[in-house]
Amino acid sequence: MRLLNQRDSAHAITASFYTDSIIRLFPSDQLKKKYAKEYAKALLLKGDDLLARRDYSNAYRSYYDGKLALTDLNEVCEYSRYSSRIANVSYKEGNYYQAIDFWKQEHQELLSCQDSTDFELMFVEKQGCLDNIGVCYMYLNKLDSAQFYYQKALDFINTNQKYFPGHKDFIDYARIVVMSNQAEAYALENKPEKAEIIFKQCLIEGEKTGYAFDNSQATRVALSKLYIHTKQYEKAHQQLDILKKGLQKKPNKEIYTYWQRFYSQVLFGKKRYKEASEQLLEYAEMQYKSVLAARAENKTNVGQILAQIEQQHLVQLSEEKQKQQNLILGLVILVTISLAAITSLIWKNVRNARENISSLLAINQVVAQKNIVLEDTVKALERYQDQNQKFLKLIAHDLRNPIGAMSSASLLLFLDKTPNDHQKQILSIIQESSTKALALISEILYNNLGAISIKKEPVLFEEVVRSCVDMLSHKAEEKGQTIEFSFESVLITLDREKIWRVVSNLLTNAIKFSYANETIRVDIQKKEYSTILTITDHGIGIPAEIQNAIFDDFTTAKRVGTAGEQTYGLGLSICKQIVDAHGGKIWVVSAVDKGSTFYVEIPFL
């Protein structure tokens, strides 16, 4: 859960919460020593969270404590990960000599590591620490030393690339990064001809890799800087024009800052002073805003103290929550009896309200066959008055926690011993009933509650969709299915949580109604005024006569999944309400036994 949340930058706080929950698994020194490797990994993750928040001092301490935890295990390969992180903290603080020492230490540890199959340690980290040492020497204006380590990194890459044929794109990219740094050092040595040749070679080689776009932007920035320094303003202008087109395709705030500064210098060099001054003022304004933002992010000592107090408060809340959960576990039997009584009352109201005796018998037959009381309640609500609807939803809300508690409690019953076959069957029935009941309760609570309230914010749409794909991939793997995801990067204003629910519903349906071993495609396409998400499966398809009804509340146009999965007729209705609230459209194109494609179009405004 921590790693999944870390992939989406908007979930950094949640990722940090999961990291803290891992560390709380080691409350005593005895446990920390017994599971030293696991505890050290938790401290590594904690350090990464702190580093992302620019809390360098605490990040350093977390990495250092993690390395100390491994002292007695002789885990040389693992040591290198912590040395690399500590070096990175020192680098970000501008302490380049200390960073050099730790990257050299990492290199020695990697030389002693015998795990030759680990691409990250044996290639990525080895060439990376050599290149990083060169960068530090370059920032210290020790250009001879910088060039020495750049050449060592290139020699290592060229010698060892044959051992990792499956990582050609990354290896080519790594070589280009080192060459670009090497060219920058030549520029600082006042050797512009050599620097220009290498920069151009980087651009040519970069087009052959899967990292071409990001690499070319950084290289063009460096090449523009070189041309400006040598007063070749026309060449610099050409590179900046190419760079601007790239920024229109994929915005990058840092690269745009470089573009503003260099473009103003080019205009000044070409004696277009008015335009240069306007561009320089825009650059200065942007820099001023960046400084204010950086100041806002910096923590004072008081802020650190408050953060520690807040963390302690969270721990206390967690302990209180655990006590409440223990109390709930003790009341499982009482809750079960209450559920039976409430269900009996609901059934009695339904029986009195129904005028058609044949419909009553049909519903009774469904209850006997399916043994799902809450599903019967949902069907009965179709003919209920508003008062009964509110009553049922209130009950559903209050039942969600005890049902969830029963499900969790059932898993703890045999924590210390293995259940027999009969007990396994009972556990399976409890889990299956709880899961279906919770699904029904959630859909009742979220469906048809009046106008949907949305809270929009700028979001990278592919992050939302990627989160759903990652979370549901295991469900697809259970049926031997594959999810392929491609996208055009787009920043759009929407309600992240509600759109996530739409994507989750559609992708769940695609998995449910696709056959085993099929491929499900998820695509994001950017249009002029909107973006379109498409989810395509090769499953059972939707008959033409019911396609217009699948988005209705409590629709009867529902079928069983390819592996017998149940449907409740609510998911697509919820999707339509959310998409409509965003001013968008949702529709389907489908054919029986050929599959379905669902389209979701969301406007930019």
Find the mean pLDDT for residues 278-305: 62
pLDDT for position 183: 92
Residue 417 gets the label, from left (phi > 0), alpha (psi -120 to 50) or beta, of: beta
Find the mean pLDDT for residues 330-335: 61
| CB contact at 8 A, 596 and 542 | yes
Q: Residue 144 above 90 pLDDT?
A: yes
Alpha-carbon distances of 457 from 177, 503, 582, rounded to whole Å: 35, 17, 12
Cα 46 from Cα 52, distance rounded (Å): 10
Give 446-479 pLDDT, tens digit per residue. 555 455 678 889 999 999 999 889 888 888 998 9
* Pick from 15, 23, 16, 13: nearest CA to 43: 23
Alpha-carbon distances of 358 from 355, 363, 366, 368, 557, rounded to whole Å: 9, 9, 13, 15, 21
Cα 308 from Cα 303, distance rounded (Å): 9
* Top-confidence residue, 385 or 147: 147
Find the mean pLDDT for residues 416-443: 68
Give 498-511 pLDDT, tens digit per residue. 999 899 999 999 99
Find the mean pLDDT for residues 130-145: 95
Percentage of the residues of the chain whose pLDDT score is greater than 90 = 35
Give buried/exposed letters for 559-584 (b at 16+ CB in 10 A, else e): eebbeeeebbbbbbbbbbbbbebbeb
Percentage of the residues of the chain whose pLDDT score is greater than 70 = 72
Instruction: State in Å, rounded, how far the first CA of the chain is from the last one.
Output: 32
Cα 154 from Cα 201, distance rounded (Å): 14
Hey, what are 113's tokens?
């590591």
Flag the least confident range among 17-31, 262-276, 304-318.
Answer: 304-318
Find the mean pLDDT for residues 527-535: 94
Flag the least confident range among 109-118, 187-196, 269-278, 403-412.
Answer: 403-412
Query: Helices 301-330 & 332-353, crossing angle to 10 degrees?
Result: 70
Sign of CA dihedral 306, 312, 314, 317: negative
Give the distance, in angstroms, between the CA of residue 497 and the centroid of all CA atoms in the same chain: 13
Give 78-98 pLDDT, tens digit per residue. 888 889 999 999 999 899 999
The CA-based angle 56-59-63, given to 5 degrees, is: 140
- Name the residue with tokens 């044929």: 165
Hey, which of 140-144, 217-221, 374-378, 397-401 has the most confident mean pLDDT? 140-144
pLDDT for position 45: 93
Cα 221 from Cα 281, distance rounded (Å): 20
Look up residue 56 and give its DSSP letter: H
Looking at the DSSP bridge assignments, the partners of residue 520 are: 483
Cα 122 from Cα 438, distance rounded (Å): 47
- The one-letter amino acid at 187: A
Find the mean pLDDT for residues 299-326: 52
* Pick from 48, 37, 111: nearest CA to 80: 111
Q: What is the mean pLDDT of the chain?
A: 80
Find the mean pLDDT for residues 3-11: 76
pLDDT for position 435: 67
Hey, what are 66's tokens?
């993690």
Q: Residue 380 above 60 pLDDT?
A: no
Find the mean pLDDT for residues 511-520: 93
Q: Residue 149 above 70 pLDDT?
A: yes
Find the mean pLDDT for residues 56-61: 88
Hey, what are 593's tokens?
């036994």
Q: How many CB atoms lie within 10 A of CB 33?
A: 12
Sign of CA dihedral 470, 476, 480, 482: negative
Looking at the DSSP bridge assignments, the partners of residue 532 are: 525, 601
| CB contact at 8 A, 179 and 198 | yes
pLDDT for position 604: 86
- The one-letter amino acid at 56: Y
Confidence tier at 202 by pLDDT (50, 70, 90): confident
Query: Helices 386-412 & 421-446, crossing angle to 10 degrees?
Result: 150
pTM attached to this predicted model: 0.50
Residue 455 gets the label, from left (phi > 0), alpha (psi -120 to 50) or beta, of: beta
